[in-house]
Amino acid sequence: MADIRFLHRRLAAVLLAALVALPALTACGDDTASTQSGSASRTTAAAAATRTVVDMSGNRVEVPTRPMRIVTNYPAVTQIIFLLGAIERQVGVTQSNLTTLPLFKKIYPPLAAKTAVFATDTTTVNNEVLLAQKPDLVLLSAGNGTLRKTITGLGIPTVDIASFPNSDKLKAGVTFIASVLGGDAPARAKKFTEFYDSSLTRAAAGTKGLPDAERPKIYYTADNPLSTDASKTIAEVWARQGGGVAVTENKGIQGTAKAVTLESVVSWNPDYIICRDHTTCEEILKDDRWSTVAAVRDHHVITNPRGVFVWAARSAESALQPLWVAKTLHPDRFTDVDIAKEIKTFYTTFYNYKLTDAEVDGILNPTQP
């Protein structure tokens, strides 16, 4: 009987010890689970810090999920970043962003204090200045393989942004840049493409059925009077969209800023000369050799509008170009279009800036570089 009582006491002691130990074991298990969960969370967070994108040249690049220190060598892209609401995150620009674009600097004064990482030619980079900005992303104009290799060699993620030879590519570029920037940039990009599409639709409706014989011939000047953007550039595209036709169509001239001869321009006899820069228009009008050209005789030598960026060349403000061209060439077909109103709407929508009438006039009749 004593033995049985002894066994009962031993069994009770073992059970008591087990009950006492159970919370400790459970707590230990909780700690392990907590540690594993925390580790997994940190791993997930680390993975979320970067992501892989395919840039506009087809390169797969690991980029920050939300880049906060951005540099670009593409002057028009600085304007696009501004339009997308991320200009505060841009720490490096080209020299031309600082020496031109007076309205841009008026609307956004901090632009003038940005650091010039790239020279005016956009392909010369100061590595020390670049590194000093501590960039986490470079947006590079496509086709600069050597420059890309230099920058990636410094350990900086670099994505290519293709040139904008037409409306679709420009819209795709804005959309891609927005996807890389993150935040509310994609929503802004969507609103931009809707605005652009509306402009194109209205221009197309007003010029529907217009035969080539009734399309004014346009000569567009790029860097100087005898430099033009020809086939496979956006200049030929907006000429068509606005109810005209570029004199360089089907002439075998391709690319931007291509040299042509005065003899060629005289033989093409454009009805309109649209100059990227006001100084170019002045040069043409002062040179008697141009006097036989129809555009000069008829006073159709016009400086292309220029706002935050020139509308004509690879700019987000190209969204305004088709309607302006259409209204200029065919005012009778576009009596319902008020270009000044279109400009004001664009600026309030995308720059959150209310233009004065004087500023609109300056955009439509630019004299500054």
Are 122 and 235 in the same domain? no
Instruction: Say if CB 76 and CB 54 are below 8 A apart.
Output: no
Model confidence band, residue 313 (pLDDT cutoffs 50, 70, 90): confident
pLDDT (0 to 100) of residue 13: 42
| In a shared domain, residues 223 and 344 | yes
pLDDT tens readout for residues 205-217: 999 999 999 999 9
Q: Is the pLDDT of residue 9 over 60?
A: no
Residue 245 lies in a domain: yes
Confirm whether 185 is domain-assigned.
Answer: no
Domain final residue pick, 162, 194, 227: 162
CATH of the domain at 312: 3.40.50.1980
For residue range 17-50, what is the model confidence (pLDDT) as tens digits? Answer: 443 343 443 343 444 344 444 433 433 344 459 9
- Say if residue 319 is in the same domain as residue 231: yes
Distances (CA, A) of 85 to 88, 178, 352: 8, 9, 10
Model pLDDT for residues 222-232, shown as the tens digit of each residue = 999 999 999 98
- Residues 71 and 156 occupy one common structural domain: yes
Confidence of residue 190 (pLDDT cuts 50, 70, 90): very high
What does each C-alpha distance from 91 to 72, 135, 221 come to in angstroms?
A: 9, 7, 32
Residue 247 lies in a domain: yes
What's the mean pLDDT when you consider all of the chain? 89
With CA atoms as reference, report the closest residue to 234 among 248, 252, 251, 213.
Answer: 248
Examine residue 348 and state whether it is found in any structural domain, yes or no.
Answer: yes
Average pLDDT over residues 310-339: 96
Q: Is residue 241's pLDDT more than 50?
A: yes
| Mean pLDDT value across residues 292-301 | 98
Question: Domain total for the chain?
Answer: 2
User: pTM here?
Assistant: 0.84
* Structural domain contains residue 171: no
Instruction: Let me know whether 153 and 266 are in one domain.
Output: no
pLDDT digit string (tens) for 103-160?
999 999 999 999 999 999 999 999 999 999 999 999 999 999 999 999 999 999 999 9
Q: Of 146, 162, 178, which residue constitutes the final position of a domain? A: 162
Report yes or no on 279 lying in a domain.
Answer: yes
| Residue 297 in domain | yes
- Residue 107: domain span: 50-162
Q: Give 278's pLDDT tier (boundaries 50, 70, 90).
A: very high
Q: What per-residue confidence (pLDDT) applies to 369?
A: 64
Q: Are residues 54 and 147 in the same domain?
A: yes
Lowest-confidence range among 15-19, 134-138, 164-168, 312-316?
Answer: 15-19
